[in-house]
Every structure is written in C-alpha cells, then in structure tokens.
Amino acid sequence: MERTLVILKPDALQRRLIGEIISRFERKGLKVVGLKLAVIPRPLAETHYAVHKEKSFYPSLLQFVTAGPVVLMVLEGNKAIEVVRKLMGKTFGHQAEPGTIRGDFGISSQFNLVHGSDSPESAERELKLFFKPEELLRYPLIDDPWMAE
C-alpha cells in the first residue's frame, strides 16, 4: 500500500470544507493513517515548498499556507498518490474538472484548498517533514480486501 501527504490549506478550513474533502478521500477507499490540525511555521513551509523558491508565486504561497490552521493527513491505499491527485483536480480551480475537489469548490488561481504529494519521492520527503513514524497508524478495515487488487 502506498502513502501520501495531504494538506487541507487554510482556505479549506475557513470555508468549513474539512469533512467534505476528507469524506471524498474515504469514499474512494483511502484510509486515514495520520491526522492533525496545525499551523505550519514559516521555516517548515519554506522547506516544504523549496522546489518553488525561484518562482514568482513563492512569497504569496508561503504567506497563504502559514496564514492559519491546516489539516495535515496521511492517506494510505492502492495507488494513493495518483488517486489523491485525480480527486484534487487541476491546480487552478477555474481549470479543474467538475467532480474534483478543486473543480467543485475552487475558482481561484491562488487559493486551491488542498495539497497532495506528486510522486513517491515527494511523498516520502513530505511525510517525514510533518509526521513522526509513531504518529502513523496501521490498522485493518473491514473493506480492506475489497480495496486491494
């Protein structure tokens, strides 16, 4: 099973979309194995988004993601990274397909509700930034056999 980091950004919390977004991931068959509410400190945000450091949107991205509480979660499942990316939709809400999180709830180019790891390498790096190994749980669900290939 694959694991991925998901961050529900400050706009998702401000708009009271936490439950709706998490339920979409769960209904798809992904398992929540780590979950916490936090305010991301700026140094951690800088490390997390370091790949974007030279891009023009980097300062506003840091300001946005550190502006208020976020939900940090680790989702586990078959092809979790790919599944999460598809459920999120394209980066900009106005370009995202209806039926995706961003397509249904976003219109902004800057405030895009949710972050998900984009590769196994990113997921491994990002999970270590936000979660200690002992914060991630392993537990069975009754429908696990139905979610495997």
CA dist 118 and 144 (Å) reads 24
Q: What is the full DSSP assignment across 49-110?
A: TGGGTTSTTHHHHHHHHTSS-EEEEEEEETTHHHHHHHHH-SSSTTTSPTTSHHHHH---SS
CA dist 62 and 83 (Å) reads 26
Active site residue 115: yes
> For residue 21, how many other CB atoms are within 10 A of its CB?
22
Query: Which residue among the candidates 48, 52, 94, 115 is catalytic per the annotation?
Result: 115
Catalytic residues: 115
